[in-house]
Amino acid sequence: MDLGLEGTTAVVTGASKGIGLAVTRALAAEGVHVFAGARGSSPELDELAAAGSVRLVAVDLSTAAGSNELVAAALDRGGLDILVNNVGQVSPRLNGFLMVSDDEWLRSLNLNLMAAVRTTRAALPAMLAEGHGSIVTISSVNAFLPDPPVLDYGAAKAALTNFSKGLSKEVGAHGVRLNTISPGPVATDLWLGDVGVAAAVGQATGRDPGSVAQDAAAQSVTGRFTRPDEIATLAVLLASDRASGNVTGSDFVIDGGLTTQT
């Protein structure tokens, strides 16, 4: 299926690895010029950049200046059609709510919510001026599946989903669509890396991280984690006009049947 994206311009945040890297790769494969925002590169992102359609913009997306610089780089090319808000992080709080400090709450809210708010604020005027644009934001099933070890992360993602839905109502009549994707556990470093969720839980409980990950995967009907490329495929479809101008303000869950939200 031709998604009609060739020659368009996209910004992807948190693009050096995991979901962001997969989205960057999928957009580039559709002929999109991708401005990949991240603190630093990775071998995989370097390879995409060498092919010519991806440009790394080294920025700190925990700051307003980073968001503004990333979007400005894309606008210097002449316009912006797609924004994928992906950057985020999670640190399990295994000692209970009372041990989560204000600074930890603020760090989580800043990167999981405010980074998307700021990047959207920077990108939106150009989209409104063109009367066209798609903003896809990576949220989480924790937005509606409360889990004590990730209270701050879940609260930030719930706010992120609400933000996207609310803004979609403001700008939908002007040709700009906003949708969210809510994955369950994904096979990335965030879950499976040396300092990922499985490792943190394993260290706190004396369990092997591999068994922690297996137990988490077993909660899904499919018995496995979602792959980053599966999320990327959905993100690229939502970014395209094939998703139709009437697909906006929606949240798309991809979690292998983990949740039973109706």
- Residues 53-85: tens digit of each pLDDT: 999 999 999 999 999 999 999 999 889 999 999
Residue 179 near residue 252, CB atoms below 8 Å: yes
Residue-range definition of the domain harbouring residue 177: 9-184+228-253
pLDDT band at 199 (very low <50, low <70, confident <90, very high): confident
- pLDDT, residue 104, reads 96
Same domain, 248 and 144: yes
pLDDT band at 37 (very low <50, low <70, confident <90, very high): very high
pLDDT band at 255 (very low <50, low <70, confident <90, very high): very high
Residue 262 located in a structural domain: no
Same domain, 213 and 116: no
Residue 1 located in a structural domain: no
Mean of per-residue pLDDT scores for the chain: 93
Residue 169 located in a structural domain: yes
Is pLDDT at 211 greater than 60 in this prediction? Answer: yes
Same domain, 127 and 216: no
For the chain, what is the domain count?
2
Same domain, 112 and 209: no
Looking at the chain, the whole-number percentage of residues with pLDDT higher than 90 is 77
The count of other CB atoms within 10 Å of the CB of residue 182 is 24
Residue with tokens 């994206």: 5
Query: What are the E-state strand segments in 43-150?
Result: 54-58, 82-85, 133-138
Is pLDDT at 236 greater than 80 in this prediction? Answer: yes
Same domain, 31 and 132: yes
Name every residue whose Cβ is closer than 8 Å to that of residue 32 and which is 6 or more positions away in sequence: 5, 6, 7, 8, 9, 10, 53, 82
Same domain, 35 and 82: yes
The CATH number for 23's domain is 3.40.50.720
Same domain, 93 and 196: no
Is pLDDT at 196 greater than 90 in this prediction? Answer: no
Radius of gyration of the chain (CA): 18
What is the rounded CA–CA span in Å between residue 178 and residue 228? 20
Residue 258 located in a structural domain: no
- pTM equals 0.94
Is pLDDT at 244 greater than 80 in this prediction? Answer: no
Q: Which residues pair with residue 21 across a beta bridge?
A: none
- pLDDT, residue 74, reads 97
- pLDDT, residue 29, reads 96
The whole-number average pLDDT for the span 174-197 is 89
- pLDDT, residue 215, reads 80
Same domain, 212 and 232: no
Is pLDDT at 223 greater than 90 in this prediction? Answer: yes
Same domain, 193 and 129: no
Same domain, 202 and 234: no
Which one, of 77, 172, 161, lies nearest residue 132 by Cα? 172
What is the rounded CA–CA span in Å between residue 139 and residue 156? 9
Residue with the bigger pLDDT between 190 and 94: it is 94
Which one, of 5, 12, 19, lies nearest residue 190 by Cα? 19
Residue 66 located in a structural domain: yes
The residues annotated as belonging to the active site are 153
Same domain, 50 and 105: yes
Same domain, 54 and 180: yes
